[in-house]
Each structure stands twice: as structure tokens, then as C-alpha cells.
Homo-oligomer: A and B are copies of this chain.
């Protein structure tokens, strides 16, 4: 009898989780509110409702331990790409010389969605709620385009207009995802663009401005304020987005249980705004907090060119560069900071999800940094051994998983390592080409630059004692 199930563990469509896992009630320190930049006070609900779909705003602050996933969404996931497979990385294990079953590496394969990443999990959900609430258009920003194409897909599904401000560096470097969004009927603008006041300001400074996620957020926010039929959609950072992604970790848990593994020892994800990482780890960190599995190690991997957790400061800062949106308490490199255009465009954000920031502050999760050269090298090793070309973002998690496996091997430890393959790299082949031709360069963010960006932050006085 062949061990078919050891290599790839599949769930049936009716095993899609029935609820999202909400970490808010379990946080060891309480969630900070979004702050209105006009007065330094918490954003009132009516203001939040004007920006985001109403249901998402309610989820943003919900203290329920779980939130039911609407049946319509579960049915849609079942018809398309969920549950996603869990693979044991047998090829990679062999390559790393991990003999026997002492060290096992598993990855959750979120690259199987129609747009090739985990992003549709929340994009479809937000579009579903927006449509129900009478919204006509969703507007957003995107870096490498994984989020933009995810939202374009979601909006097309529910017949909503979709407008995407795409970071110019990626707009030029990744034409594929731009066409992808266009095919799904989205309107795509290189950001900074001439279509918003914020964009024009940055274009005046530099007509060839590379852009950043922070600037693109400013433009999308400004655009969303033009009509109450337009809502702003976010692909990471905020609580409700992380919530929608917890479907990933719940499935992974069930899949491991199917082959008799009660828990992983190490859970790994790459971190940009924190959504794919959180989607995988939240169900596990909940078990850690609640003492069910107190010893699970959880690690987020950042790029050295934009390490908001590893080198940023935990403080109040704007979520966007032009200070159009709310102020958030999070790990940040400063909203004026423009990261170098590395290939992992999805990890080029100056801040980090407040949930991730709080978990990190409370030592419930760890963080690590990698250079893009070593990351792409790990991505190539993964392609050679597992066949799937990972997105440069996801390759950060692969690099960390390899490091952890080799460490365990050296220490002769028994470990189950689980990481999130958040997306495939079919649209990021330039990164691989540059690596193979010796043209990929690394960039370490100098501490002075961070200090400068942090020192330049100006904002209204916020009374921290009230939260």
C-alpha cells in the first residue's frame, strides 16, 4: 500500500472551516484603536463605516472568539480553490539530508487560488460584504500586484467596479499582474499617479517616483472619499483582513491531524503587512496563549530591506505616506520611509499589523530578516526539489524553514516545521532571472535612515492612557 497521503494532505470541500478565528479576545495586551488624524481621538464608527464595508468594521473590533463564515462564501470557496493542499516537502527534506522522520517540513499551498496567492481569501469576502451593503466600487493599493489581482478577481465576481493604485516600481517590473487585473476588469494606475492630489504631490517631486505602498494607500484612500458608493479595501494590516485569512491555519491544523500530528513545533510565514503569516499562525498562537500547546514556536520572516518588526519602533504612526488615513499603533519604520524596490514587492510596507506587533511585544512570536539573494536562492532550491516556483515573498518563509530545519538537524532535534507558501512566482520571474544572471543585489536598510524617518513623524497628540 502506497503512502499517498504522506506527500499531500487534501481536505474535502465540506471540510472548509465554518468560522474565522478571532485572536482579539485572547491578546495579552488590548488592541489599540485606529486614530483620527484630525483630532488624535479614536476613529468614530460612522467614520470607519464611511471608509470600509460595514461588516468588516464590526469584525475589526469584535471580541467574539470566532465569527461564522457566511455559507455563500464557503460554497464559493468549495467551488473554486479551497481547501488548499498541505504538502510534506519530501523533496526539500531529502535535499537537506533530513534522514528518517525526525524533521518534517510541511507547507500550506495557497498558490492554488485563481490569482495565485492567499489574497482572494479576504478579497472575495470584502467584495461579498461590499456588494451586500450596496457599494458600487472598491478601491485599493497594491505592491507586487498579488493583492490587486486578488481584489480585481473578487470584485469581478460580485460585479463591483475595482480601482487599483499600483506601486510604480512594480507596475513597471511586473507587467503580468497589471494585465491580470485588467482582464478581471479592474482599472490600474501606476502610483504615484496624476489622478489624486497625493499622487500629484509626489510626482512633482519626482516624475519617475518609484512609489511605495504608503503612497499608494494615500491615493486609494483619497479616491475612496469621492463618493459614499466607493469603499476602500485593504489587503493586509487591519484585524478583519487577518481574521479572513485564519481559514489557512485552521485547514492546516485539520490536515496535520489527519496524519496524526497534533501540532507543529515551528510555524513560519513571511511578513509584509502580516496577513498570510497571521492567517497561518493565529489558530496556533491561540493554542499557545490558551496553554493548549504552549511551546509552539512562531516565526515571521521579513526582508532586510524593509524590516518593520526587526528594526522598526512600536509607536503611533500613519498607515499611509500622505497622512490621509488613520493613525495606527504598530511596529513601523516611519510612514515617510520609501523602501528600496526589492522583488518581494508585497513586503515593502513601512508598518506591521497591530495584532502581529502586539504578539511580538509579548514574546508570543519571533521575527527574523533575510536578504533577497539568499531568499531567491532558497526559492530556486524549493523549485528544484518541490517543483513549485514560489513568489519572492513566500521564498522568505522557505529560507527561514530551511534554516530552522538545518538547525534542528545540527542539534539532533525532532521537529515538525510548517510554513505558508503564500503564492507562486509565475509573475515574478524577473527576480529569478536577475539571480541567475548575477544581477540581483542586496540592500540592508541603514539604521540612520530608519531613525530619520521615525524622527520626522508628526502627528496630533494621542492620549495613550485611555486605551
Contacts from A to B (Cβ < 8 Å): 2-5, 7-8, 10, 12-14, 16, 71, 74-75, 78-80, 87-88, 90, 112, 114, 116, 153, 156-157, 175-176, 179-180, 182-185, 380, 383-384, 387-389, 426-427, 429-430, 432-433, 436
Contacts and interface: CB of A to CB of B under 8 A. Distances in A.
Contacts of A387: 80, 114, 153, 156-157
A75 B114 CA distance: 26
Given A114-B387, A388-B114, A75 B180 contact: no
Contact of A8 (B80, B153, B429, B432): B80
A179 B429 contact: yes
Contact of A2 (B14, B80, B157, B176): B14
27 contacts: A2-B74, A4-B14, A4-B16, A4-B78, A4-B79, A5-B14, A7-B13, A7-B75, A7-B79, A7-B80, A8-B78, A10-B13, A79-B88, A80-B387, A153-B387, A156-B384, A156-B387, A179-B429, A179-B430, A179-B433, A180-B389, A182-B432, A182-B436, A183-B429, A183-B432, A184-B384, A426-B426
Contact of A183 (B4, B184, B436): B436
A105 to B, nearest CB: 13
A83 to B, nearest CB: 10
A243 to B, nearest CB: 22
A116 B184 contact: no
A8 B4 contact: no
Instruction: Give the copy number.
Output: 2
Contacts of A78: 2, 4, 7-8
Nearest to A185: B384
A384 to B, nearest CB: 6
Contacts of A13: 4-5, 7-8, 10
A175 B175 CA distance: 12
Nearest to A72: B2
B183 A383 contact: yes
Contacts of A5: 13-14
A58 B78 CA distance: 42
A328 B277 CA distance: 55
B10 A429 contact: no
- 7 smallest CB-CB distances across A and B, nearest first, come from A7-B79, A4-B13, A114-B387, A179-B429, A4-B78, A426-B426, A4-B14
Contacts of A16: 4
Contact of A10 (B2, B10, B384, B432): B10
Given A2-B74, A387-B157, A176 B426 contact: yes
Given A436-B182, A436-B183, A4 B80 contact: no
Contacts of A180: 389, 426, 429
Given A79-B87, A112-B112, A114-B388, A380 B183 contact: yes
A59 B418 CA distance: 41
A12 B14 contact: no
Contacts of A430: 179
Given A4-B79, A116-B426, 11 more contacts: A2-B75, A4-B12, A5-B13, A8-B80, A79-B87, A114-B388, A179-B430, A182-B436, A184-B383, A185-B384, A426-B427
